[in-house]
Structure 1
Amino acid sequence: MLDTSVNPHIAGAHALTRRERVVLAELTEDVTLEEIATRLFVTRNTVKSQVRSVYRKIGVSTRAEAVAWAEAHGIR
């Protein structure tokens, strides 16, 4: 039987939506969530939700870990 579950360490950036990749790239810059929200024309709460989703999918729990993951996977 084919395993359809997503393992973020294997699937990498492909597990992320286009918007999640954009948010992750924004996290690599020294900006606040409010500034990211303004740049993306969404609310801060939307960005917070997207960040939580990114963290879950890539298996990290801090911004520093997410930035390191993004750099290791060529997302900037």
Structure 2
Amino acid sequence: MSTTDTLEQAVEVKDLTRRERVVLANLSEEATLEQIAAKLFVTRNTVKSQVRSVYRKIGVSTRADAVRWAREAGIQA
């Protein structure tokens, strides 16, 4: 069993709030927090807080891992 399989079993998409799913869907290697904030009409700090919450819930510590988790969970912008 891979680490990703373990993470997917630990948390499901339904465990994230609607807004966390939206932020996660907009998180990509290219998008800055400022760009995501502007798109969602919130501040950079709001996005930063939501990203931290997502990382904690899905058990990752990097953007690349979060993006990978989102893709495997079927979350896309």
Q: TM-score, normalized by length of structure 1?
A: 0.84
Identity %: 69
Q: How many residues align?
A: 70
> Can you list the C-alpha shifts for 1:30-57, whole angstroms capped at 9, x where unaligned?
2100000000000000000000000000
Taking only aligned residues, the RMSD between alpha carbons, in angstroms, comes to 1.7
SS in 2 for 1:49: helix
1:44 paired with 2:51, answer no
- Do 1:9 and 1:59's aligned partners in 2 also have CA atoms closer than 8 Å? no
Query: Which consecutive segments of 4 or more residues in structure 1 shift more than 4 A?
Result: none
TM norm structure 2: 0.83
> Which 5+ residue runs of structure 1 have no aligned equivalent?
1-6
- Range 32-41 or range 8-17, more displaced: 8-17
Q: Judge conservation of contact 1:37–1:43 (CA < 8 Å) in 2.
A: yes
Larger radius of gyration between Structure 1 and Structure 2: 1
Code of the residue aligned with 1:35 in structure 2: it is Q
SS in 2 for 1:69: helix
